[in-house]
A and B are shown apart, each in its own frame.
Chain A
Amino acid sequence: MIEFVFLLPIIMGLIILALPPSVGRLLLLITSLMHLQLTVMTWLGKFTPAFAQLFKATPEGLYILLITSFIFFCISVYAFAYVNETDITNKPAFNGCMLLFLGTMSMVTLSDHPIMLWVAVEATTLVSAPLIFIHRSKEALEATWKYVIICSVGIALALLGCFFMTLSLDLTNIRVPLSYTSLYKVASSLDPIWLKTGFIFVIIGFGTKMGLAPMHTWLPDAHSQAPSPASSLLSGALLNCAFLGIYKMHILMVAAGLGQFSSNLLIGFGLFSMFVGAIFIINQPDYKRMLAYSSIKNMGIIAFGVGIGGFALYGAFLHILHHSLIKSSLFLSAGNILLGFNTKKVKKIGGMIKYLPKTFVSFIAGFVAISGLPPFGMFLSEVVIIIGAIQSGKYLAVTMFMLAVLIVFAGIGKACLSMSFGDEVEKLQTKERMLRVIPPYVLLAASVIITIWMPQPVYNTIINSIQIIGGKIHG
C-alpha cells in the first residue's frame, strides 16, 4: 500500500488536532520520522499501489517525495522547540496542519491521475492556509486571504487545463484510462490543439502555486507572514509539488511532439520570474520577503532549466534539490533571527555575529549557498544550467540569466552583511537554542555532501526522471 505514505501523516494530523499541544509536538516529530522511513521503503520498492489508476511511484515523484520528507524531518525538529517559544494561540492547529500539509504534499508526489493530482494540490492550499493565519494579526489575515483566493482561482484554471487534456484524448478513438502513465504511451495521437490549450492553462494554474511571475503575488505575503517552519515548508516543499504538476504535463507535451511549444513557454515564464525576483530583492526592507523573492527567482531558474532541456534539465533537477535544502535552512535561520530580535526589518537588526553567533554562521553560509557559490550545490546546478543553455545556443537567455543571478547576489549580500555586522537597533530578546540551530546546519551540510558525493539511487532517479524527455548528463 503506497497510499500509507500520505495516509499516515493525514490521519496523525487529524488526531493531533484533538490532542493537547505537549503530546502534539512529540507526535509531530515521531510521525515525521515514520514518514521518512516510509519514503525510504517506497524508494526500495517495497510498496505497490492499491489504487493503481490513481497512484504510482514515478521517478520524478519519488525524487520530490524524498526531498519533502527529509526537509520535513529537519523542520519538525526545529518546530519541536519553536512552537513553545512563540505566542501561537492555537498550538494543536499548528502541529496538526503541519502534518496534514506533509500528507497532502506526499499525495501530490504519488498521484498519477491528472485530476487526483489537482485534488491534492488544491488540498495543500487548504491545509496550509491555517498555518499562514496562525499569528492572527491583520497582516496575517490579509496574506491568508490573498493566498487562498489567488491560489484557488489559479488552480481552478489548472483543472480546466486538465479537462482540455482529457478532451484531447476523447477526440481520438483511443480508449485508455486517464492517467499520466497511459497518456504518455498514446501521446503522439492526442489532439495537438487541445493539448496546447491545456498546457497554457496548466502552466498558468500550477504556475500560480509554484510562484512563477506574474502570478506570484501571493508568495511574498504568505512567506513573510507564516511562522518560520511553515514558510520554510512552503518554499522548500510546496513549490516543488506545484512544479511537478507542470513537469508531468511537460513530459506529455514532449512525447506528443509539442516540446518546442511548452519549452518556450517555460523559458519565458522562467526568465520573467527571475527578473521579477531580482528586482524586488534590491533594497527589500523585510528579510523574510527577501527570501520569498529569492524563491520566485529560483523557481524561475528551474522552469528555465526544464525549458532548455538536455543537460540543463539535469541542472534543473539538481537545482530543485539544493534550492529546497538551502532555502528551508535560510528560512529556519530567519526564524531564529525573528525570535531573537522580534522584527522582520533588515534595518533594525545588526550585530548578529555578537548576539546570535551560531545563527550568524548558518545565515551567512546560507547566503553564500543561495548566491550559487561553492562548495554548496547551487553552484553546480547553476553552472550545469548555463552550460546546457550555451550548448543549445540560447546566448541571449544565458546573458539574462547571469545578470539576474548577479543582481540577486548584490541584493541579498547587502542585507546579509548589514544584518550581521551593522549596528543593532532592537535588543536581543530570545537566545539561541540547540534544537533550533542544528536543523539549518544539517540542511546546509546535506547540500554540501550531495555536491561532493551523490548517492547512486538518487542519481539514478534523477536520470530516470529526465531521460523520458531527452535530458542527459553527457552534453
Chain B
Amino acid sequence: MINYTEITIVFILLSVLLSLSSSRLMTLVKLMALQGGAVSLVPLLLEGTQHLPMGELLFFQVMILIKCIIIPGLLVLAVKRVRIKREIEPFIGYHASIVAGLVILLVSVFVTGYLKLSLPEGHNFVLVSAITTMAAGFFLMMARRKAITQVIGYLMLENGIYLIGTALTNPSHTLYVVEFGVLLDLLVGVMIMGIILHNINSAFDDADTTLLGRLKD
C-alpha cells in the first residue's frame, strides 16, 4: 500500500531544498505553487477523506485554489512586472544554502525526536517537514536581497506554521470561519506586498531591499 502522506511530505521537503538552490525567480514561484498544493493536501490525507462532510471538502478546495493557484499567480504577475529574472549576488551562496537546508532538516529530525510528543501515527514526519519548512523560510528571508524572494520566504514560513498547526493540534478545534480568516489574511498580505514591491521597483529601478536604507537613526 502506498502511503500518500509520506509522498506528499517528500514533495514538500524537495520543494524546500530546491527553492534554497534556485536562482531563477520563476522557478521559485513554481516551487511555491507545488509546496502550497502539497501543504493543503496534508490535513486531508491525515484525516482520511471518507469521513469528511461536504463543507470541509469545499473548504479544502478553496484552500488549494488560494495556495496553489491564486497566490502563485499573483507572484507570477509581480515577477513579470518587475522584470527581474534571477537573484544576483545573494548574501549567502546557493551551495551554502543547500548545505544549510540539509543541516536544518537534520536539526528538525533531532528536535522532533527530542520533544517526545505522543503524536498519532504519521504526524511525526509532518512535524519534521513543518519545522524544516519554517526554518528554511526564515533562512530564505535573511539570505536573499530581492524583495520578491523575501515574500516567498514569508510564504514558506507561513506554510510551515500551517503544517505545525495540522500536525500538532486536534482537528476537533478547527473552525472553518477562523481557518478561512487566516487564509484571507495571507492572501491580502501577499497582494499588499506585491503592490509595494511594484512601487519599490518603479521608485528605485530595482526590487533590491539593500536600497531601502534611507530611514535611520
Stretch at the interface among B12-20, B35-43, B49-57, B165-173: B165-173
Helix, strand, loop or mixed for chain A's interface? helix
Q: Are A156 and B157 in touch, CB under 8 angstroms?
A: yes
Q: Are A284 and B217 in touch, CB under 8 angstroms?
A: yes
Give the interface size bracket for B toward A: 35 or more
Q: Are B173 and A119 in touch, CB under 8 angstroms?
A: no
- Expressed in whole angstroms, the Cα–Cα distance for A142 and B199 within the complex equals 10
Q: Contact check: which of A122, A141, A153, A170 meets B157 at CB < 8 Å? A: A153
Q: How many positions in chain A have a CB within 8 Å of any CB in the partner chain?
A: 47
- Say whether A133 faces chain B, with CB atoms less than 8 Å apart: yes
- Expressed in whole angstroms, the Cα–Cα distance for A160 and B158 within the complex equals 9
Contacts of B214 in A (CB 8 A): 138-139, 142
- Say whether A315 faces chain B, with CB atoms less than 8 Å apart: no
Q: Contact check: which of A123, A129, A160, A177 meets B164 at CB < 8 Å? A: A160
Contacts of B173 in A (CB 8 A): 166, 170, 177-178
- Expressed in whole angstroms, the Cα–Cα distance for A170 and B215 within the complex equals 45
Q: Contact check: which of B134, B181, B193, B200 meets A119 at CB < 8 Å? A: B181
Q: Are A163 and B165 in touch, CB under 8 angstroms?
A: yes
CB distance from B210 to the nearest CB of A (A): 11
Contacts of B170 in A (CB 8 A): 166, 170
- Say whether A136 faces chain B, with CB atoms less than 8 Å apart: yes
- Expressed in whole angstroms, the Cα–Cα distance for A221 and B214 within the complex equals 10
- Say whether A167 faces chain B, with CB atoms less than 8 Å apart: yes
Asked, given contacts A142-B212, A153-B157, A170-B168, whether A148 binds B217 with beta carbons under 8 Å apart, the answer is no
- Expressed in whole angstroms, the Cα–Cα distance for A160 and B217 within the complex equals 32
Contacts of A160 in B (CB 8 A): 134, 161, 164
Stretch at the interface among A31-39, A110-118, A264-272: A110-118
- Say whether B150 faces chain A, with CB atoms less than 8 Å apart: yes
Contacts of A152 in B (CB 8 A): 154, 189
- Say whether A51 faces chain B, with CB atoms less than 8 Å apart: yes
- Say whether B209 faces chain A, with CB atoms less than 8 Å apart: yes
Q: Are A143 and B169 in touch, CB under 8 angstroms?
A: no
**What mask results when residues 134 to 163 of chain A are scored 1 for a CB within 8 Å of chain B, else 0?**
001011011111101100110010011001
- Expressed in whole angstroms, the Cα–Cα distance for A139 and B134 within the complex equals 31
- Say whether B188 faces chain A, with CB atoms less than 8 Å apart: yes
- Expressed in whole angstroms, the Cα–Cα distance for A123 and B192 within the complex equals 12
- Expressed in whole angstroms, the Cα–Cα distance for A177 and B175 within the complex equals 10
Q: Are B196 and A122 in touch, CB under 8 angstroms?
A: no
- Expressed in whole angstroms, the Cα–Cα distance for A148 and B194 within the complex equals 11
Q: Are A54 and B182 in touch, CB under 8 angstroms?
A: no
- Expressed in whole angstroms, the Cα–Cα distance for A167 and B118 within the complex equals 11
- Say whether A280 faces chain B, with CB atoms less than 8 Å apart: yes
Contacts of B2 in A (CB 8 A): none
- Say whether B141 faces chain A, with CB atoms less than 8 Å apart: yes
CB distance from A124 to the nearest CB of B (A): 10
Contacts of B196 in A (CB 8 A): 129, 133, 141, 144-145, 148
- Expressed in whole angstroms, the Cα–Cα distance for A178 and B175 within the complex equals 10
- Say whether B89 faces chain A, with CB atoms less than 8 Å apart: no
- Expressed in whole angstroms, the Cα–Cα distance for A224 and B214 within the complex equals 13
Contacts of B188 in A (CB 8 A): 123, 126
- Say whether B177 faces chain A, with CB atoms less than 8 Å apart: yes
- Say whether A354 faces chain B, with CB atoms less than 8 Å apart: no
A130, A133, A148: most-surrounded residue (chain B CB, <10 A): A148
- Say whether A220 faces chain B, with CB atoms less than 8 Å apart: yes
Can you name the residue of chain A whose Cβ is closest to the Cβ of B200?
A: A141
- Expressed in whole angstroms, the Cα–Cα distance for A153 and B140 within the complex equals 13
Q: Are B192 and A129 in touch, CB under 8 angstroms?
A: yes
Q: Are A175 and B199 in touch, CB under 8 angstroms?
A: no
- Expressed in whole angstroms, the Cα–Cα distance for A19 and B209 within the complex equals 35
Q: Contact check: which of B141, B209, B212, B213 meets A153 at CB < 8 Å? A: B141
Contacts of A54 in B (CB 8 A): 175, 177-178
- Say whether A297 faces chain B, with CB atoms less than 8 Å apart: no
Asked, given contacts A145-B196, A221-B215, whether A53 binds B185 with beta carbons under 8 Å apart, the answer is no
- Expressed in whole angstroms, the Cα–Cα distance for A243 and B203 within the complex equals 35
Can you name the residue of chain B whose Cβ is closest to the Cβ of A178?
A: B173
- Say whether B204 faces chain A, with CB atoms less than 8 Å apart: yes
Contacts of B172 in A (CB 8 A): 175
- Say whether B147 faces chain A, with CB atoms less than 8 Å apart: yes
Q: Are B150 and A149 in touch, CB under 8 angstroms?
A: yes
Q: Contact check: which of B169, B178, B193, B200 meets A163 at CB < 8 Å? A: B169
Q: List 24 A-B contacts (CB under 8 A).
A: A115-B181, A116-B177, A122-B189, A133-B199, A138-B204, A139-B214, A141-B200, A142-B213, A144-B196, A145-B200, A149-B154, A156-B161, A159-B165, A160-B164, A163-B164, A166-B169, A167-B168, A175-B172, A177-B173, A220-B215, A220-B217, A221-B215, A280-B217, A284-B217
Q: Which 10 interchain pairs have the tightest Cβ spacing? A: A119-B181, A142-B212, A122-B185, A166-B169, A221-B215, A170-B170, A178-B173, A167-B168, A163-B165, A115-B178
B contacts, CB < 8 Å to A = 117-118, 134, 141, 147, 150, 154, 157-158, 161, 164-165, 168-170, 172-173, 175, 177-178, 181-182, 184-185, 188-189, 192-193, 196, 199-200, 203-204, 209, 212-215, 217
**A153-B157, A163-B169, A167-B169 given; 16 more Cβ-contact pairs under 8 Å:** A113-B175, A115-B182, A119-B182, A123-B188, A141-B203, A142-B213, A142-B215, A148-B196, A149-B141, A153-B154, A159-B182, A175-B172, A220-B215, A225-B215, A280-B217, A289-B217
